[in-house]
Chain A
Amino acid sequence: MANKVLVLGEVRDGVLRNVSFEAVAAAKQIADGGEVVGVLLGDSVTQLANELITYGADRVVTVEHPHLKAYTSDGYSQAFLAVYEQEKPEGVVFGHTSLGKDLSPKLASKLKSGLISDVTEIEGSGEDAVFVRPIYSGKAFEKVKIKDGVIFVTIRPNNIKPLDKNASLTGDVASISVDVQNLRTIIKDVVRKATTGVDLSEAKVVVAGGRGVKSSEGFEPLKELANLLGGAVGASRGACDADYCDYSLQIGQTGKVVTPDLYIAAGISGAIQHLAGMSNSKVIVAINKDPEANIFKVADYGIVGDLFEVIPMLIEEFKALKVNS
């Protein structure tokens, strides 16, 4: 049976995040021929509606209000629920991002519904869809479904392929007006700390350092490599505990779980807790002086050597590759 599915388009720095296009693809599968409706919330977002349509949304509903300029769970839940009440969908898809993780449980609670968080794969479609998600930080997986009520899921960035962009697609864009009020949270400031400007959870390439990096300055060549490859810098717990970098960079069972196309582990021994956070990456490269290091067991390619020799050479080789291709 065809379902109507709402997708929250997430806007960051004025542009739609890639995970929103992945969410449209997920919604298509849940909709099973039904309608996919994009939802955009913000102070000025209507101009982004068409892009969501070119990635497969059938139409878009926007709510614009000065109180939606910055995300708050109060503001966004009021606006999203207004759209939900109007559309009465059978499914809802969010990205499993900072925003999605914060907002989705509140909405699920208000809707008295189940919520399947952090989906990496969808099997089947429509009512029969079964959702695959990691448990124990990726040491195992479960397949789950919603027993009854709205099919509400958040999808992990970088796992579900977006549909190809088709600029000729068109669809209706409507706005509804919501009196967003009583925000209990005031955002005073946002301090940018991400080292390369690329979000770790969405990065296609992650260059991560461990204790072998030896100091905060030691992260500089890793940053340079990450920048060159359009990726983000991560770290092991060891590096964070030793104060070489901020905890926000930590990858592992405590910390972020990432699944980039390419994960370069430099000076990381590969404790089981770290492996839980990155072993589902598509291609893993390990660089470590110790040939016995555990990280080589999960690596597709390994180089036994000093990262301070290897990384600069890698940077030169990638630069050469870029020039030649």
Chain B
Amino acid sequence: MNIFVLVKRTFDTEEKIVIANGKIQEDGAEFIINPYDEYAIEEAIQVRDAKGGKVTVVTIGGEDAEKQLRTALAMGADEAVLINTEDDLDELDQYSAAIILAEYLKDKEVDLILAGNVAIDGGTGQVGPRVADLLGINYVTTITDLEIDGTNVKIVRDIEGDSEVIETSLPLLVTAQQGLNEPRYPSLPGIMKAKKKPLAELELDDLDLDEDDVEVKIEIVDIFLPPQKAAGRVLEGELSQQVKELVNLLHSEAKVV
């Protein structure tokens, strides 16, 4: 099986967001593999271990993203590809990211592509389905179970709390939802091996793309933090009195019940 995983380097979930000069400050922030992409990597490794083949992790970004690719290799992926757009592009949106990834994948004879169902930074969930459409292959989003038998695929997907049982076939792109698996931590031998695994670096030129092909469709006008909430009221007195007061406040003051 020829398996690809689309990954993104994102802010650690612990990080607070700081904005200066209209931009989110990255200095000193910790970065991780997007948590949903970790499920995708884990699933790819499990499929490869069961069916044979190769797992290639792919990301778009700058030199810094090498660290996340090495982590994926340490988890057990076989190869990594960094599509470095740092010198060519100032901005990237879901439209342009999908074109770049599809251009890379189009002649790879892909069996299975996995991605996170959403990145926790931009939060659009668009890139996976867009890539599948550009490649002309089917996709299933927010999956929580994946069974492959030959080219037949049985999937359970999360639809707003309910589960949908689906049958489809390879080639296929799926996006991972929480509950799909428990991503492994890289082992020490894994980390040592990862240093020697192939990590290729490509630029737009190598994909026969120029800047006009990937001009963004979306313009960011402003970035801002939500207003700080004023401190709330911790109620006092007998517990039963507090509960009475709370219901009263929710009904009369907040008017939400």
Do B231 and A297 have beta carbons less than 8 Å apart? yes
How many residues of A sit at the interface, in one of the four size bands? 35 or more
Do B162 and A313 have beta carbons less than 8 Å apart? no
- Expressed in whole angstroms, the Cα–Cα distance for A200 and B19 within the complex equals 31
Given A301-B233, A302-B233, answer yes or no on A309-B166 (Cβ-Cβ < 8 Å).
no
Do B13 and A117 have beta carbons less than 8 Å apart? no
Do B130 and A109 have beta carbons less than 8 Å apart? yes
Pick from A136, A195, A255, A300: contact of B11, CB under 8 Å: A136
Closest to A250 in B: B178
Contact with B along A147-182 (1 / 0, CB 8 A): 111000000000000000000000000000000000
Scoring A104, A136, A194 by chain B CB atoms within 10 A of each residue's CB, the highest score goes to A136
Do B162 and A261 have beta carbons less than 8 Å apart? no
Q: Could you tell me the distance in whole angstroms from the C-beta of B216 to the nearest C-beta in chain A?
A: 7
Contact with B along A91-128 (1 / 0, CB 8 A): 00000011101101110111011111110000000000
Do B217 and A283 have beta carbons less than 8 Å apart? no
Chain A contacts for B164, CB-based, 8 A: 187, 189-191
Do A184 and B126 have beta carbons less than 8 Å apart? no
Do A147 and B217 have beta carbons less than 8 Å apart? yes
Contact with A along B14-43 (1 / 0, CB 8 A): 101101000010000000000110000000
Do B134 and A109 have beta carbons less than 8 Å apart? yes
- Expressed in whole angstroms, the Cα–Cα distance for A247 and B138 within the complex equals 25
Chain B contacts for A112, CB-based, 8 A: 95
Segment touching A, from B48-56, B82-90, B195-203, B237-245: B237-245
B257 within 8 A of A: yes
Contact with B along A300-325 (1 / 0, CB 8 A): 11111100011001100110010001
Contact with A along B186-220 (1 / 0, CB 8 A): 00000000000000000000000000000011111
- Expressed in whole angstroms, the Cα–Cα distance for A214 and B121 within the complex equals 31
Do A142 and B222 have beta carbons less than 8 Å apart? yes
Closest to B225 in A: A140
Do B126 and A254 have beta carbons less than 8 Å apart? no
Chain A contacts for B120, CB-based, 8 A: 136-137, 253-254
Segment touching A, from B57-65, B66-74, B103-111, B153-161: B153-161
Tell me the interface secondary structure of chain A in the complex: mixed
Do A105 and B218 have beta carbons less than 8 Å apart? no
Contact with B along A27-45 (1 / 0, CB 8 A): 0000000000000000000
Pick from A114, A138, A141, A193: contact of B93, CB under 8 Å: A114
Chain A contacts for B217, CB-based, 8 A: 113-115, 146-149
B77 within 8 A of A: no
- Expressed in whole angstroms, the Cα–Cα distance for A203 and B143 within the complex equals 23
Do B36 and A321 have beta carbons less than 8 Å apart? no
- Expressed in whole angstroms, the Cα–Cα distance for A140 and B121 within the complex equals 10
Pick from B16, B130, B231: contact of A108, CB under 8 Å: B130
- Expressed in whole angstroms, the Cα–Cα distance for A118 and B122 within the complex equals 10
Do A279 and B229 have beta carbons less than 8 Å apart? yes
Chain A contacts for B162, CB-based, 8 A: 190-194, 248
Do A140 and B179 have beta carbons less than 8 Å apart? no
Chain B contacts for A189, CB-based, 8 A: 164-165
Pick from A147, A253, A283: contact of B256, CB under 8 Å: A283
Chain A contacts for B148, CB-based, 8 A: none
Chain B contacts for A249, CB-based, 8 A: 161
Do B161 and A184 have beta carbons less than 8 Å apart? no
- Expressed in whole angstroms, the Cα–Cα distance for A240 and B253 within the complex equals 33
- Expressed in whole angstroms, the Cα–Cα distance for A309 and B240 within the complex equals 9
Do A272 and B13 have beta carbons less than 8 Å apart? yes
Given A141-B225, A303-B235, A313-B240, answer yes or no on A108-B95 (Cβ-Cβ < 8 Å).
yes
Pick from B35, B93, B122: contact of A254, CB under 8 Å: B35
* Given A185-B140, A254-B178, 20 other A-B residues pairs in contact with their CB atoms under 8 A: A98-B158, A105-B94, A105-B128, A105-B129, A106-B139, A113-B217, A114-B217, A114-B218, A137-B120, A139-B226, A140-B226, A184-B138, A188-B166, A188-B167, A191-B165, A195-B161, A248-B144, A262-B256, A283-B250, A301-B249
Interface residues in chain B, defined as those with a beta carbon under 8 Å from any beta carbon in chain A: 11, 13-14, 16-17, 19, 24, 35-36, 93-95, 98, 120-130, 132-134, 138-142, 144, 158-169, 177-179, 216-226, 229, 231-235, 239-240, 242-244, 246-247, 249-251, 254, 256-257
8 nearest CB pairs, A to B? A114-B217, A247-B179, A105-B129, A109-B133, A194-B161, A105-B126, A184-B138, A302-B234
